[in-house]
Chains A and B, each alone.
Chain A
Amino acid sequence: MTQPDEFDLEAAFEAARAAPPQMSEALVAQIARDARTHLPKQSWWARLLSMTGGPVGLGGLVTATVAGFWFGAAPPSETLDPMVIFGTIELAADDTAVDDDMTYLFGFEWITEEG
């Protein structure tokens, strides 16, 4: 039976919670526009970070740059010269041990035939 002074307030709250008022599409779009309008400009540093793939990407970039600079400033021995490795030029004649090693790598030995 209905009591004059009682009302199931909890049930009314529950029904209201289950159906929260919804924003219109127009308001959602307006809020997104406002957010874009006031979006702070990214600093050059933040842009660089996002372009290079974050701190990890930037770290790799820095390592490669430093290594490249070092190879230029203090090149390792000429045995690492890519021209030699691919057989385009030959090593100095007096370095016979390395010369033997290198001819072993050249499958068709066309360099020695021609030379």
Chain B
Amino acid sequence: MQDAQQEHETLKDTGEYDAERDADAALLARYAAGDEAAARLLSARLAPRAFAHAFRVLGDRAEAEDVTQEAMLRLWKPAPKWDAGSTWLYRVVANLCLDRMRRTRPDTLDEMDSPADPAPRIETRLHDAARHDALQSALLRLPERQRQAVVLRHLEGLAKPQIAEILDVGVEAVESLTARGKRALTADLAAQRDALGYSDDTT
């Protein structure tokens, strides 16, 4: 029952993703023919998603903005890229992020491990912000591939076949990466919550 439902969702995801890909390809063809309005539409469709992914994976606004600008620049520059669209752009962003993570990892990991501000928190309003920040810090502690897979699947909401294409792996590998990532996040966040003394209970 659950398998059938999951399969249905995957098929639906795939259908939407094909339609989206066609729309992006049509806009890019218009841009290549010199249509400036197509550039505005493409930017509005793709840039916020590229930025969100880069920001969550890198955890740094300036770096994420650099990556987004670079990825969009590659979209504008004339080059044979017949399948350019959201998948192509996510792929470029994922690879640019990977390059940066590998370049900066030795210095930044320690800083990311340091606990957030331990001052006592005033419940609800801060509760969400704290949990959100806690999620972001925990994401940054995941291995690169798991982090990218979890962000694409659970924060960007992409279909598994699309993620497989972006990360250049099989669909099973995507399932394994997201499952391991989620397990690690759960354990990390539970430990953080206990250490920071904020409760996840609503009762």
Closest to B194 in A: A4
Q: How large is the interface on B (under 10, 10 to 19, 20 to 34, 35 or more residues)?
A: 35 or more
The residue that B51 contacts in the complex, of A9, A16, A21, with Cβ under 8 A, is: A21
Docked CA distance A75–B81 (Å): 54
- Cβ–Cβ < 8 Å partners of B39 in chain A: 32, 35-36, 39
Docked CA distance A24–B155 (Å): 20
Q: How far is the CB of A7 from chain B (nearest CB, A)?
A: 4
Q: Is the CB of A21 within 8 A of B52?
A: yes
The residue that B48 contacts in the complex, of A1, A6, A23, with Cβ under 8 A, is: A23
Q: How far is the CB of A92 from chain B (nearest CB, A)?
A: 57
Docked CA distance A51–B29 (Å): 19
User: With contacts A13-B154, A32-B39 known, is A7 near B68, CB below 8 A?
Assistant: no
- Cβ–Cβ < 8 Å partners of B47 in chain A: 23, 27-28, 31
Interface residues of B in 78-125 (CB under 8 A from A): 78
Q: Is A76 an interface residue (CB 8 A)?
A: no
Q: Is the CB of A17 within 8 A of B155?
A: yes
Looking at chain B's contact residues, the main secondary structure is helix
Q: Is the CB of B40 within 8 A of A32?
A: yes
Docked CA distance A77–B190 (Å): 96
Q: Is B72 an interface residue (CB 8 A)?
A: yes
- Size of interface on A: residues with Cβ below 8 Å to B: 37
- Cβ–Cβ < 8 Å partners of A40 in chain B: 31-34, 78
- Cβ–Cβ < 8 Å partners of A32 in chain B: 39-40, 43
Q: Is the CB of A6 within 8 A of B186?
A: yes
Q: How far is the CB of A86 from chain B (nearest CB, A)?
A: 47
Docked CA distance A38–B186 (Å): 45
Q: Is the CB of A1 within 8 A of B201?
A: yes
- Cβ–Cβ < 8 Å partners of B134 in chain A: 12
Q: How far is the CB of A90 from chain B (nearest CB, A)?
A: 56
- Cβ–Cβ < 8 Å partners of A13 in chain B: 135, 154-155
Docked CA distance A19–B134 (Å): 14
Closest to B56 in A: A21
Q: Is A8 an interface residue (CB 8 A)?
A: yes
Q: Is A115 an interface residue (CB 8 A)?
A: no
Q: How far is the CB of A40 from chain B (nearest CB, A)?
A: 5
The residue that A46 contacts in the complex, of B33, B128, B132, B199, with Cβ under 8 A, is: B33
Show 8 residue pairs from A and B whose CB-CB distance is below 8 angstroms, ordered by the A residue.
A9-B185, A21-B56, A23-B48, A32-B43, A34-B72, A35-B42, A39-B31, A42-B35
Give the interface of A toward B (CB within 8 A). 1-9, 11-13, 15-17, 19-24, 27-28, 30-32, 34-43, 46
